[in-house]
Every structure is written in C-alpha cells, then in structure tokens.
Structure 1
C-alpha cells in the first residue's frame, strides 16, 4: 500500500518564511471576501464583514503555521536529559 501523506522535507527557516506568506495571503483574501460580502449582501458598505473575514484568514494562517512548526519541532529527536545525583 502507498503511504497517504508525504513527509515534509523543509527546514525550519523555510517553514517560518512560508508562514509569513500564508499570513499575508489568507488575511488579504479574507479582507477581500469580507468586503465583497458586505457590499453585495448588505445595504451600503459595512466594514464589519471585512474585519471578520480578515480575522478568520489570520486565524487560519496562525493555525496552519503553528501545526507546521510544531510538526517540525516535535519530529526532532531530543537527547534524553539525565540528572546525576552526587
């Protein structure tokens, strides 16, 4: 059987820089979608749908970034800590 998920070979710096791109794209996309929804479905231009869309985009990007960085950091093989008593 084939493995369902491929292991991610990126290092920490690549993941960290990808997080900034993800934050920008998802926040701007959320702001645009929110402003379109606010102008199309509400009478006049309302700002609160734009703020909600931007917040949702920021939250999704934060969650993706946290998962990506945690997967990398938890996959490292830490040395066991041993305390020597004198």
Structure 2
C-alpha cells in the first residue's frame, strides 16, 4: 500500500511538472507569435497545465482501488 502511494505521488508530481512546462512553452510561443509579446498567454498556459495536473492528481488519489486501469478487490 505504501509503495503504491509513493508511486502515485511520483507519477503525480512528474505529470504536473510536464503539463506545467508544456503549458508554459505553448504560452511563450503564442505570446511571441500571436499576441505581440504580451505576458498573459504565458501565465494562462502555465496555469492551465498546473490545473490539469492537479485535477489528474485528485482523480488518481480519490480512486484508491484503481491501479493502471484494473480493479483491485478489497480483502
């Protein structure tokens, strides 16, 4: 149980970091090419990535019996 909890935390932090950095990168691209170097697309993109990562973490921790798509029965 403790190992699975640790794996969920690791997966959660890694996924949140990837989504935040991807949103930040897309925000920079949109800010430079489409919005005349304004800063709001950068913050919007990184906030969107952070929010998506947080929502996925919540879903992962609120469904304790799902392990990679399989149901585990309680003993």
Determine if the alignment matches structure 1 residue 62 to structure 2 residue 54: yes
Distance 1:60 1:35 in 2: 18
Equivalent of 1:16 in 9, 14, 18: 9
Distance 1:52 1:76 in 2: 41
Higher helix share: 2
State the number of aligned residues: 67
1:42 Cα deviation after fit: 1.6
Q: Which runs of 5+ in 2 are unaligned?
A: 67-71
Determine if the alignment matches structure 1 residue 48 to structure 2 residue 40: yes
1:63 Cα deviation after fit: 0.3
Larger CA Rg, structure 1 vs 2? 1
Residue by residue over 1:20-62, the C-alpha shift from the partner in whole angstroms, topping out at 9 and shown as x without a partner, is: 101110000000001101111122x111100000000000000
Higher strand share: 2
Q: Which runs of 5+ in 1 are unaligned?
A: 1-9, 78-86
TM-score normalised by the chain length of structure 1:
0.69
Instruction: Give the ranges of 4+ consecutive aligned residues of structure 1 lying more than 6 Å apart after TM superposition.
Output: 73-76
